[in-house]
Amino acid sequence: MGWRIALLDLVNGHVVSFPIGGAGQREEFKIKAFGDLRSFDWASDGKGFFTSAVTTSGSALLHVDLQGNAHKLWEAQGSTRVWAAPSPDSRLVVISAIVLGGNMWTLEHF
């Protein structure tokens, strides 16, 4: 596995990945079936990455392979953003989400 850097167009789901140091080829693809993305974290094995997409009810955590195939792993209802941080050995992943919520109170005669 080599070192790569990727540029992600969050709105259109277009990804450009290229090697650091010149070893390897530039790869370019579009994430299929999802847009309006919010994050990017490489998977530990380098064969894909995690991202999140805005849905009608919150945010979906996706794993995307290097051909642009996206697989929904989890959807956080009411979330504005969700992301994953994989462990170096690829065995574990930490998933985090920002969920906005609140309560409304009415006070009378105070």
Residue, of 70 and 90, whose pLDDT is higher: 70
Q: How confident is the model at residue 25 (pLDDT cuts 50, 70, 90)?
A: confident
pLDDT at 2: 54
pLDDT at 24: 78
Residue 98 scores a pLDDT above 60: yes
pLDDT digits (tens, 9 = 90+) for 34-89: 888 988 999 988 889 999 999 998 999 999 999 999 999 999 988 888 989 888 88
**Could you give the number of structural domains in the chain?**
1
The answer to whether residue 60 sits within a structural domain is yes
Burial call 22-57: b when 16+ CB within 10 Å, e when fewer: eeeeeeebebeebeebbbbeebbeeebbbbbbbeee
Residue 110 scores a pLDDT above 70: no
Instruction: Tell me the CA end-to-end span of the chain in Å, nearest whole number.
Output: 66
User: Do the Cβ atoms of 2 and 24 come closer than 8 Å?
Assistant: yes
User: Do the Cβ atoms of 57 and 75 come closer than 8 Å?
Assistant: yes
Residue whose pair of structure tokens reads 């390897």 in the numeric block: 24
Residue, of 109 and 61, whose pLDDT is higher: 61
The answer to whether residue 108 sits within a structural domain is no
The answer to whether residue 105 sits within a structural domain is no
pLDDT at 1: 45
The answer to whether residue 110 sits within a structural domain is no
The answer to whether residue 56 sits within a structural domain is yes
The whole-angstrom separation of Cα 45 and Cα 38 is 21
Domain range for 58 is: 4-99
The answer to whether residue 83 sits within a structural domain is yes
